[in-house]
Chains A and B, each alone.
Chain A
């Protein structure tokens, strides 16, 4: 048996053991995927502390749902979907003013972002207007527009079709434009 085949068998063995409720298999999957789950959640909530807590919350939900896991469909997509749901619950529980910490707002001094027409104030107002969007629309827009994730991945994580993702992004942008126009900004 070649190296790839052996690794696939080992992975399949871990996934099947996890499905049976084996804690060692769960720990192996936790260590293998915690970075990816953390990165995905951070993209949505944009707050490092909250992303760590939500990573633990995600794996807690995964642990409780182990019997419903289908090894044939793979672990990563399933984990991502659960992580997205946990992040959405977190966004819904936040007040609008706290909805997005500015720690991941763009650095106005960054040369890559140098655009004379867009001042730091406009960027800040845009980030705040974005934070006021309904969480469902915000998640779709942050993943598809800011993080430039493939629509297929965003759709899978949200449990909707790629067309629905495009629609949510469109609605998010329309609401964002209205909000900015109310503040006298014409994007």
Chain B
């Protein structure tokens, strides 16, 4: 792809997607949403994630040879 091809594609892209105006501002003050986010409790992982982790730890304990195989497929 030469420089002319690139310039044609760039022009086509600029005609297909409008640039965002420099003065773009959010439609509302986002600070209240920020405060809600800061006050929210951190999400706890669901119970089955812990169960899966316990299962993997158990499996690694009983079959240590499976650890490299497991790591390979990660």
Residues of chain A whose beta carbon lies under 8 Å from any beta carbon of chain B: 27, 30-31, 34-35, 38-39, 42-43, 46, 48, 51-52, 55-57, 59-60, 63, 104-107, 113, 115, 118, 122-124, 126-127, 130, 141-142, 145-148, 170, 173-174, 176-177, 187
Contact = CB atoms under 8 A, between A and B. Distances in A.
Contact of A106 (B1, B8, B18, B27): B18
B1 A174 contact: yes
B12 A118 contact: yes
Interface residues of B, number: 27
Nearest to B8: A187
Contacts, number: 105
B24 A39 contact: yes
**Interface class of chain A by DSSP:** helix
A56 B6 contact: no
A187 B5 CA distance: 8
B9 A130 contact: no
**Interface class of chain B by DSSP:** helix
Best-surrounded residue of B1, B14, B16 (most CB of chain A within 10 A): B16
B22 A39 contact: yes
A118 B17 CA distance: 13
Given A30-B34, A51-B26, A118-B15, A43 B6 contact: no
Contact of A126 (B12, B24, B28): B12
Nearest to A102: B17
Contact of B26 (A55, A104, A145, A187): A55
